[in-house]
Structure 1
Amino acid sequence: MFGFFSFKRKPTDPLTDVQSATRWMETLPLGNLYAANEGLVKALREYNQHQQAPSKDRIAALFTLDEGAQDILRALLGQYLLNPRMSRAVESRLWNAVFAYYQEILHAYHALVMDYVGNPSGSKVKPSLALIVARTVHYIGLGAKWCYFRYERVDPKLWKRLNKLYHLAEYEEIEREPLKLYETHDERSTSIAGRYLRILMLDAINNGTLLPRQLDLVDQWLADFTRELVLEKEFKPERHTFYVDLAEARGARRVRRVEASESKRYWGTFELKSHIDEIRAKLMKGEAPARLGLTEDCKLPACLELLDKVAALWSPTVKRTQRAHERRRVMQQIEVVRGLDMICASVKLNNDQVRLGGAGEGLSYEEMLDMHLYGFVTQRTRTKLAEARQGRRPPLPEYERWVVENESDGGFGALIDVQQDDWIRLGKLLGVKPERQGHWVVAVIRRMVQVSPNQYAVGLQILSQRPVALLLRASHEQPSGYTIDGVDAVDVVLPIPALYLKGERKAGQPDSLILPSAEFANGRHLWFSLHGTTYQIALNQALERGDDWLRVSFRLVTKVPAAGEAVRG
């Protein structure tokens, strides 16, 4: 009877005070990271939309929410980095979920900073100014890193805001004040200057050649490495390596013909280079990477190669590297296939055309073999070649067309569509056929930069101009005795598609094979037939790792000529 008096209570704002924020955080579905993150973003968005004057309680509540969000953000980062081959839809959902939190929390912290700037003496922000500025700088850096994950350019407005924040910290003389960003996590103390340098140094190596996991690993290293760096106002040409102009909307630049000014800040990397050299020497002696501050994620030898790469980019004595091959501006199309099976099928067509005399002039391989053995081409060979030329060719693999803007003897620079080519990744293996070239080459994506919302510029390195497609088979010395229709039915193993790449002895490059990652085992014995000869090989070490492929060296175990092929079965 009193139903007309009933009403729903308005939900309490979780950011009213610390107690409200704590109780609200306990209601988040931590078993569903996406839902928990969406709840955080929604609460922050409402906090920003209310635009209430900062109070001690609301600032403390914001700190509490941000502190509690760290485990969720770390878990989402882990998901992103552990699945480099996720689809564009999955990647976009995960990337946007994390980036949305960065945007809202950055908005909240920056509003507090602006409240202090507008009323320094009366603002409630002043007691926590150093931590607020540090976290604002921190989230600008995280946003920049996630842009690097996608090879996107950082918005110049963010660089402008970052540089102004550091200038404010200098003015308030809080830039070197030691602090911990988050008390509940096992983090070493830092400072606004240290976090600022960490962002600048990560930007200095962002050249489109590092994978997201590598970028994140280097960012972790920088928490320790930046202790070797000091920002200075006075320019010392013999000491300084990099500089940043606080009046500009951009990040770090290497010192080259720099005119000193009051808005520039400089730092050298001589001490950092010495520190990295010491770490490298200890790694070579067998010391564990984690004990040297390189984290548990540092796995040798790939980690050592990454350390050398970033050390060269940060080195104070770096020299501009000369290109191995001159780059030429062109405008042409290339045909592109992906996936080792498709690449092998495309290369095999070229191999068959050359073998059957369908490409180029002169005798085919079979005709040359007859001339060597008998002094003339046999009728059997002529009939076989004629039948092959008249026969139907196998269907061509599906391919894409890319626009090439520049090329060299070692690779191509191409423009591709972002939405259409959602499989594009650094280290992706490709089969490439230029329109002016009649055969397929094997290449790998080495560099990516997003030049517009809809396009990437990619750099392709050619691994081999004349690859050979092979079918590798596992060696079976003893038959099982159990056959079906004459075929051994125990431990049946399908042939493994692979590519043979001829090495260059002068450059110290051995002959190698490209094969699926899952098929590699050091010392594994395999065999293949080529031009009537059977080769048994043993796999050696992995020379390079891609997303689903390996380039490995090998040694020849036996070589059985054509007459003995039947013995091998």
Structure 2
Amino acid sequence: MSTGYPLDVDRVLQQKTVRDAPSRALFLAAMREFGKEGGDFTLERLRQFMQVEEHFQALLNYDQLEFLHQSPESAEGDRDFALNVQRICLESANGLQRYLRTRSQWADSKEALEVMFRVTSLALHAIHSYVKWGYFLAEPGRSTPWRQLHALYSLAESDGFSQVPVVLHPSQPAFRPSAQALYLRTLLLDALNSGNLSKVQIEIADGWFSSWCSDYALESEYSSRKHLFYVDLASDSGLHIMRRDSHGESMRYVRADGLRAQIEEVQAGLRQGKLYAGYGAGAVFPVEEHVALLAMIEKLYHSILAGSENRVEERTHFEDREVDVAIGVELVMRKSRELNVADGPESGAVTPAPASASDTIELSAEGLSLVPNAPAPEAPADDPELSRWRVLDLSSNGFGLLVDRATSDNVLLNGLLALQNHETGGWILGHVVRKLPNRVRGEMLLGVEVLAYKSMPVELQEADGTGSVEAIYLPGLDQNGKQDSMIIRTQDFSADKTFTLYTAGGMFRLKLNHIVRKGADWIKIRFEIVSRA
């Protein structure tokens, strides 16, 4: 093959693996050469670029299985491999996008236009691969190139080929996704993976969504009965839960009517001992990984279903309803401790008491779980440290509360609150997401998003014995505890420190290494269990 460029394409195409560093270096050099700025953007050169990219992806499909099966002892070598794969994928995506930006120079025939459709899909797939391998690394601080993804989908939509299926790679002729399906795959995998998926589960989910997303749609007209998630094509972020102000020309709304049937298909296969792979290698992994992943996707589906119903019903309005509120992280922490002492063991005991008298705490290798235990207490007496606010409305996700302007000035936006549940005596934790004037009543309307309906205080001892950190444990909605989290003060966060937590189930060493949400003076974090005794 003669290219006219200082690059031995034949040598690149003869590579048999990308597990070797020299092989990866060849692919990286080829991607950079074919896609470099100021290059000769011709159809012939583009075809050679696509050959190299397709060969790399075909080898990667096989070599990643070895990577996913590697033992922890090979972690450093695997990290170098994953970083190299990310770099090659990003170079490929950048180069392919340069061809799209210069398409007027080469896309001058029907055949060339069909190539353009494939190039757009290959660029979307390359970015998706970059994102997925970032998930494999599980290293915080790596951002997703959302603007590049949005721009590629916007090009396909504006030119009218976003829903045209193409054979992405000749090695997988049955896999014929559209640009829209590839774009949705990245959006949904990102929405599903909040740091809670293993490498194997990420790979299985990728195969499922590769198959499923062709049945989904992005729509420009919003319907409360069909849509819960939206994406803003003009933003630097992925999917979001619908809000009242989530409207505009750049908004696209996700419709996934087929998800229920797809979940049931996987469930039926599991009952018969068959593992569903979609367009991926998931069938080679243990059934336990499939079951755990399916539970998480079911949770996502139920949130979509519940959210759609909430949008139809809107919010429930109240008159003459009040709630007692603890304002600020310090008071919330203290009131949580006081309830803990009143309902549980004497102060200083090493076994944490329940979040309310109806719950006890257990700790598994995956996380924390609250378990029903005893009857709820009677409603507490009035507390002078609490503020009493009027309830305007509520939904499953939060409250609309009315306060006077002076009180509103003392409440931080994104500040932590605890609303007293007079039925259980416990606390509902939330944070202020908006402050709006209520012209009818002349007051301020505070929008409070619920963080947890049940919680409990815990004390984390620093492993080196130098001190301790107060935290509030929030149980997740899943059954395996992987969604469990904690709230701590901003100044107490340290991703490098190891903490010890004593519970009725034993002693656990934890790392607070995954920030879920940052507030005004608090952080919601997930944790990794390092060991137990």
Normalising by structure 1, we get a TM-score of 0.56
Q: Does 2:479 align with 1:407?
A: no
Q: Give the corresponding residue for 1:432.
A: 500
Task: Output the CA distance in 1 between the equivalents of 2:466 and 2:136.
Answer: 25
- Residue-by-residue CA offset, 1:135-186 (whole Å, 9 max, x unaligned): 1111111111122223346866710111121111111101011101111335
Paired position in structure 2 for 1:469: none
Counterpart in the other structure of 1:269:
256
Structure 2 contact 509–529 (Cα < 8 Å) conserved: yes
Larger Rg computed on CA atoms: 1
In structure 2, the gaps of 5 or more residues are: 307-395, 398-449, 476-484, 519-523
1:272-351 matches, within 5 Å, as: 272-284=259-271, 286-290=272-276, 295-315=282-302, 316-318=304-306, 323=452, 325-326=454-455, 333-335=461-463
Per-residue CA distance 1:311-346 (angstroms, 9 max, x = gap): 21233224669747526598x6521xxxxxxxxxxx
Q: Residue 363 of structure 2 aligns with which residue?
A: none
Is the 2:512–2:528 Cα contact (8 Å) retained in structure 1?
yes
Aligned residue type for 1:13: Y
Q: 1:52 Cα deviation (Å)?
A: 1.7
Deviations 1:187-228 (A, max 9, x none): 421110010111111011121111111111101110122133
Counterpart residue type for residue 255 of structure 2: G
Q: Does the CA contact (< 8 Å) of 1:244 and 1:265 recur in 2? A: yes
Residue of structure 2 aligned with 1:56, choices 20, 40, 43: 43
Matched, 1:102 2:89: yes
- Kindly state the Cα deviation for residue 29 of structure 1 after the two structures are TM-superposed: 6.4
CA distance in 2, matches of 1:36, 1:445: 37
User: RMSD of aligned C-alpha atoms?
Assistant: 4.2
Aligned to 2:334: none
Match of 2:182 in 1: 195
Letter in 1 for 2:305: T
SS in 2 for 1:179: coil
Distance 1:450 1:81 in 2: 26
2:462 aligned partner, one-letter code: I
Cα–Cα, structure 1 residues 194 and 293, in superposed 2: closer, same or farther, change >3 Å?
closer
CA distance 1:133–1:431, shift in 2 (3 Å): same
1:249 aligns with 2:378: no
2:527 to 444, 451, 459: 459
Maintained 8 Å contact 1:137/1:195: yes
Tell me by how many angstroms 1:92 deviates: 2.6
1:133 is aligned, of 107, 111, 120, to 120
> Counterpart amino acid of 1:326?
S
| Alpha-carbon distance, 1:258 to partner | 4.6
- Equivalent in the alignment of 1:113: 100
Please tell me the residue identity of whatever aligns with 2:472: E
**What's the offset of the Cα at 1:39?**
0.9
**Cα separation, 2, equivalents of 1:278 and 1:128:** 34
CA distance in 1, matches of 2:3, 2:107: 34
Are the aligned partners of 2:24 and 2:84 in contact in 1 as well (CA < 8 Å)? yes
Which residue identity does 1:151 align to in structure 2?
A
CA distance in 2, matches of 1:401, 1:70: 50
- Separation in 2, partners of 1:26, 1:142: 20
The whole-number CA distance in structure 2 between the counterparts of 1:448 and 1:431 is: 14
Counterpart Cα distance in 2 of 1:402 and 1:37: 47
Stretches of structure 1 lacking an aligned partner (at least 5 in a row): 1-9, 336-398, 422-429, 465-498, 500-569
Shift of the 25–460 alpha-carbon distance from structure 1 to 2, 3 Å rule, reads: closer
SS of residue in 1 equivalent to 2:305: coil
Give the number of equivalent residue pairs.
372
Contact 1:241 1:269 in 2 (8 A): no
SS at match of 1:181: coil
User: Is the contact made by 1:116 and 1:125 (CA closer than 8 Å) also made in structure 2?
Assistant: no
Shift of 1:53: 2.5
Could you say which residue in structure 1 is the equivalent of 2:5?
Answer: 13
Do the aligned residues in 2 keep the contact of 1:160 with 1:248 (CA within 8 Å)?
A: yes
Give how far 1:252 is off.
0.9
Aligned-residue identity in percent: 19
Q: How far does residue 267 in structure 1 lie from its aligned partner after superposition?
A: 1.8
Q: Report deviation, 1:297.
A: 2.9
Q: Structure 2 length as normaliser, TM-score?
A: 0.60
Which of these residues, 471, 488, 507, is aligned with residue 441 of structure 1?
507
For residue 289 of structure 1, give the secondary structure of its aligned residue in structure 2.
coil
Deviation readout 1:355-401 (Å, 9 max, x if unpaired): xxxxxxxxxxxxxxxxxxxxxxxxxxxxxxxxxxxxxxxxxxxx698
Aligned-partner Cα distance in 1 for 2:180–2:455: 41
Shift of the 93–401 alpha-carbon distance from structure 1 to 2, 3 Å rule, reads farther
The secondary structure found in structure 2 opposite 1:406 is: strand
Counterpart code for 1:102:
C
Determine which of 136, 142, 145 is the counterpart of 1:149.
136
Match of 2:78 among 87, 91, 96: 91
Q: Secondary structure at 2:219's aligned position in 1?
A: coil
**Residue matched to 1:82:** 69
Note if contact 1:152-1:451 (Cα within 8 Å) is conserved in structure 2: no
Mapped to 2, the partners of 1:11 and 1:61 lie a distance apart of 8
Deviation at 1:124, TM superposition (A): 10
